[in-house]
């Protein structure tokens, strides 16, 4: 129970990686606010946590909407009275080759993956500066280094790295850490949508010979959110079975 007594918000926690992270944080003793745009999925994740003996609350919130984000923090503080961990996991992809990408595809991905992380991180920073403690963990991606068909996604995830490093420098004196995790290729609803041929190509690029599981990423998050990681900030940590070196 490495997170006993801590309060966490996980965005995009209704399914996939976010759900895996929420379940793991709760298993380690954190009270978890499961936030997502998909209400039914958020409620189902909360039910699973509660059935396993953990504490959780579902809050429907769109990270790309500032008033939703403000309400998410208000409901969290009203329920649990403090905030120790924020995991900015919500993300989308709208892939297309650069010469075919629409402005709408560009704007949608930047709004959720980058502006959403800005809204969430800014609100967390205000609370955590006052408390003089807290961990912010942003989910970037191996794609931040550039990936064919993902100009919008790669730009958003590279933006998350810059935002994370800046936040880490600004918040360090206040005892607040901010780190980014770059998952490689993880088995979730997002990746299950790719054609079998693409799946095989992706897995062939992973030295460990398999796609990652949400728990593989969640284990790193538990560490970064724990007191053991109090001197680690501004880092970009790959969790990819050797895919990104
Ligand atoms: P997913 O599509 O399975 O789950 C994403 C969740 O975010 C969904 O529950 C969705 O409803 C929620 N969401 C979407 N837009 C939202 C919004 N505006 N506000 C709040 N919630 C919203 O995706 P997956 O694979 O679990 O990805 C999670 C994160 O990990 C994303 O940021 C993704 O970019 C990142 N990632 C995933 C990798 C993978 O291989 N699956 C690899 C690298 C990064």
Asked if 11 and 35 count as a contact pair (C-beta separation under 8 A), the reply is yes
- Give the neighbor-by-neighbor strand order of the sheet with 31-36: 55-60, 31-36, 7-11, 85-88, 134-139, 176-183, 236-239
- Whole-number Å distance, alpha carbon 202 to ligand 1 midpoint, is 18
Decide: 89 and 18 in contact? Cβ < 8 Å. yes
pLDDT digits (tens, 9 = 90+) for 88-135: 999 999 999 999 999 999 999 999 999 999 999 999 999 999 999 999
Overall average pLDDT of the 146-157 stretch: 97
182 Cα: distance to centroid of ligand 1 (angstroms): 13
Which atom of ligand 1 lies at the shortest distance from residue 184's CA? 42
Please give the pLDDT value at position 25: 98
Helical (H) or strand (E) element with 36: strand 31-36
Global confidence as pTM = 0.98
Q: What's residue 193's pLDDT? A: 87
58-86 pLDDT, tens digit each: 999 999 999 999 999 999 999 999 999 99
Greater confidence (176 vs 194) lies with 176
Q: 167: helix, coil or strand?
A: helix
Ligand 1 mutation pick, 14, 188, 214, 216, max ligand atoms within 8 A of CB: 188
Q: Is a pLDDT exceeding 90 seen at residue 245?
A: no
What is the biggest distance separating any 2 CA atoms in the chain, rounded to whole angstroms?
50
Residue indicated by tokens 């810059």: 162
pLDDT digits (tens, 9 = 90+) for 37-55: 999 999 999 999 999 999 9
> Which two three-digit tokens encode residue 234?
């501004």
CA dist., res. 94 & res. 39, Å (int) = 22
Distance 68 CA to ligand 1 centre (A): 18
Average pLDDT over residues 139-162: 98
Give the three-state DSSP class for 229.
helix
Using the atom order of ligand 1, give the atom closest to the CA of residue 116.
18
Minimal CA–CA distance to 114: which of 158, 146, 70, 147? Answer: 158
What ranges in the chain are assigned the alpha helix state H?
Answer: 16-27, 39-51, 66-80, 103-110, 116-131, 151-171, 189-192, 196-204, 214-225
In the predicted model, is pLDDT for residue 5 greater than 90? Answer: yes
Q: Ligand 1 center to residue 169 CA distance, Å?
A: 26
Percent of the chain past pLDDT 70, that is, above it, reads 100
| Nearest residue by C-alpha to atom 33 in ligand 1 | 91
Query: Do 23 and 15 form a contact (C-beta atoms < 8 A)?
Result: no
Domains, the chain, in order of start with CATH, read 7-230 (3.40.50.720)
Cα distance between residue 175 and residue 171, in whole Å:
7
Q: How far is the C-alpha of 224 from the C-alpha of 102, rounded, in Å? A: 37
Which residues are designated catalytic?
153
Kindly calculate the radius of gyration of the chain based on its CA atoms and give it in whole angstroms.
17
The per-residue pLDDT for 190 is 86
Ligand 1 atom nearest to CA at 41: 9
Q: Which residues line ligand 1 (CB under 6 A)?
A: 11-12, 14-18, 36-38, 41, 62-64, 89-92, 112, 116, 139, 141, 183, 185-186, 188-191
Confidence band (pLDDT; 50, 70, 90) for 16? very high
């Amino acid at each position: 129970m490495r997170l006993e007594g801590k309060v966490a918000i996980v965005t995009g926690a209704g399914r996939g990686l976010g759900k895996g992270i929420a379940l793991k944080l709760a298993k380690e003793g954190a009270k978890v606010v499961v936030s997502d745009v998909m209400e039914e999925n958020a409620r189902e994740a909360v039910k699973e946590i509660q059935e396993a003996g953990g504490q959780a609350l579902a809050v429907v919130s769109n990270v790309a909407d500032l008033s939703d984000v403000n309400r998410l923090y208000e409901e969290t503080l009203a329920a649990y009275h403090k905030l120790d961990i924020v995991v900015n996991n919500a993300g989308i992809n709208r892939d297309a080759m650069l010469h075919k990408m629409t402005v709408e595809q560009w704007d949608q991905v930047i709004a959720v993956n980058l502006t959403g992380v800005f809204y969430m991180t800014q609100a967390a920073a205000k609370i955590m500066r006052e408390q003089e403690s807290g961990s912010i963990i942003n989910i970037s991606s191996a794609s931040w280094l550039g990936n064919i068909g993902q100009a919008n996604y790669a730009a958003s995830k590279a933006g998350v790295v810059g935002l994370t490093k800046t936040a880490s420098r600004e918040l360090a004196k206040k005892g607040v850490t901010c780190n980014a995790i770059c998952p490689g290729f993880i088995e979730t609803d997002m990746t299950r949508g790719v054609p079998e041929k693409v799946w095989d190509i992706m897995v062939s690029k992973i030295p460990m010979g398999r796609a990652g599981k949400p728990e593989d990423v969640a284990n790193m998050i538990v560490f970064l959110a724990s007191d053991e990681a109090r001197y680690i900030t501004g880092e970009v940590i790959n969790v990819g079975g050797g895919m990104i070196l």
